Amino acid sequence: MKHLLVITLAFLLAGCGYTFQGTGSVLPPDVKTVHIPTVDNQTSETRFTQLMTESLRERFERFGVVTVVEKASDADAVLNVEVKSLDRQARSVTSGTDIVLQYDSIAKIWGELRKKNGAIVWRNPQMVVVKPFGTTSDTVVTSSPDFAQSGITSGTLSSLSAVELSRGQEQEALIALAEESARQIYDEAVAPDF
């Protein structure tokens, strides 16, 4: 009786569109391999090119829905991504002195997944991804997951200058921005919409 109940439940869940993470895909059945060339970066932030390219490749390889291949000739489809702009905007300032406490890093991205025959599988010409970062030690949340992964201790934090801290947080924001961009692209292009 238990076996019959488990089998019935499995069929019902399968019929509702539920799948385990990494097993579902909205890709056509003939797209099993993807080539991800170096991201085209139209900004002056050159370090973002490699961060974004690596984040995309890691995200697509992580779930095994498709295989990332080195050559476009070996791929069923090619994912082209272009970073149109990468800006910083003040998010919060002090009221008395107008000192910026926190910025938003904002990436505007164009992406397209195209099959060998030229057919477009997915396209988003206007993706916007935002990641905040602080500029002073007063705006660093030392209990946050981002801080915990940074490798900086609370004691070291107090010895850093505002410029060093801002640069470090901006680098962390760029890494997080690249990872979030890759996640959004993967979710839109590959992951099923439940």
> Over the stretch 49-61, which tens digit does the pLDDT of each residue have?
999 999 999 999 9
- If residue 52 lies in a helix (H) or strand (E), which one and from where to where? helix 47-62
Structural domain spans, the chain: 27-189
Compute the distance between CA of residue 62 and CA of residue 32 in angstroms, rounded to an integer.
Answer: 14
> Over the stretch 7-40, which tens digit does the pLDDT of each residue have?
554 544 444 443 344 456 899 999 999 999 999 9
In terms of Cα–Cα distance, which of 110, 92, 111 is closest to 102? 92
Residue 19's pLDDT is 38
Note the pTM of the prediction, 2 decimals.
0.69
- The residue type found at 4 is L
Half-sphere exposure of 21 (CA within 13 A, CB side): 6
Compute the distance between CA of residue 146 and CA of residue 15 in angstroms, rounded to an integer.
Answer: 39
Q: Which CATH number fits domain 27-189: 3.30.160.150, 1.20.1260.10, 3.40.50.300, 3.20.20.70?
A: 3.30.160.150
